[in-house]
Structure 1
């Protein structure tokens, strides 16, 4: 069973059409983001109960070809004050930390902007490590920071073209893999070690920031769904 799960996670990072591949029964959270306009609660349909709090500045009920999604309006970078209402947050849980496991985060997004943190758990200096997906200069970037080091992957091309894209960031024993629309965009060998912090998951930017000494890196664009898997 373990070999089959790992194979599925690897293929999701490395082969055509694999960004939509399932990791079987290892889904830690599934957020369809199909809540109606004005909702304040993001539902996790994985059955694990990782529901989220939707900030009042997050647009819900966005109509997409796949039902509904969320919209994050553009905020000027490094311009105070911080805007925590721009975030969706999900309480800390071991399901949402890689720990010492293989781990994958997959997001369906659409943007014409060129900056912002899409989803993360922890920040650059927090104890226990962190993981993050962002889109600086319109290029999807995937980071795992653990007890054995940090691997950051940057896609070689931009996806801020206003079309929908599926971005998947996978950490395996042998390395980290970034795929876009089912095709491998970047990879690097190496093991990042244990990642286990006590921070919430935040969607749409940083939690601990002031827009002066620490930028909040708010995401601007649309999100259709996010899944987190582990094996």
Structure 2
């Protein structure tokens, strides 16, 4: 090979290497979490036919709740045991609170102004439903709220108080019937959505102060009538739900 050929090959390799490095730089990477304290951990390992219908908090903080009588416990899939929320249209009447897992409100479960994260492992094949939330739109002026929903199969996380709100939405759908770990973390000036360990959406956000007296509901809304306010019921399975804070 002549000298010119060697130089051309050298520069081609350099260009390729630079391109690879730049491409890697734009692959979303997991962020170090600012939350390091588990506030609640609902493992959802209760056996089928759980007579007490108790939703057990494994964090040691006694944030126990109740399992709705229409929610199936002890359901196994791909090595996991969890709760199954059976088929229903999200706006199908009548409203049915027995489809919900509920945890009573407490100071510890409210974000306030702290760094705060909600994590859950779920699977679904549907394109609708509120997965988990504390409060809802009607509670904006009474402490704010947060929620996770999956319109068209794209997970969305919202934090809102009386004056400001912030939303992050996944650019990839997760209603493929496989298990996915969803994490949404609210920090003082940032909201971050992570799916299966990779950051998929992030935005700057004004500080929120969220503190309401509503229970945490898993599987849809509690204050709804399917006429004026739809219940947005979730259809699918949950392996666990965890709340962390700073």
SS at match of 2:102: strand
Match of 1:200 among 215, 237, 240: 215
Aligned length: 215
SS at match of 1:125: helix
Partner of 1:105: 118
Match of 1:36 among 47, 51, 61: 47
* TM-fit CA distance, 1:57: 0.5
Match of 2:164 among 149, 160, 163: 149
| Contact 2:90-2:234 within 8 A present in 1 as well | no
Match of 1:85 among 82, 98, 106: 98
Match of 2:228 among 188, 213, 222: 213
Gaps of 5+ in 2: 1-27
SS at match of 1:229: strand
Partner of 2:176: 161
Gaps of 5+ in 1: 1-13
Counterparts of 1:153 and 1:71, CA distance in 2: 26
| Contact 1:29-1:228 within 8 A present in 2 as well | yes
Counterparts of 1:192 and 1:169, CA distance in 2: 15
Residue by residue over 1:66-88, the C-alpha shift from the partner in whole angstroms, topping out at 9 and shown as x without a partner, is: 44100001212322100110000
Counterparts of 2:234 and 2:207, CA distance in 1: 26
Question: Which stretches of structure 1, 4 residues or more, deviate above 4 A after TM superposition?
Answer: none
Q: CA RMSD in A?
A: 1.7
| Contact 1:148-1:194 within 8 A present in 2 as well | no
Counterparts of 2:200 and 2:80, CA distance in 1: 28
* TM-fit CA distance, 1:23: 4.4
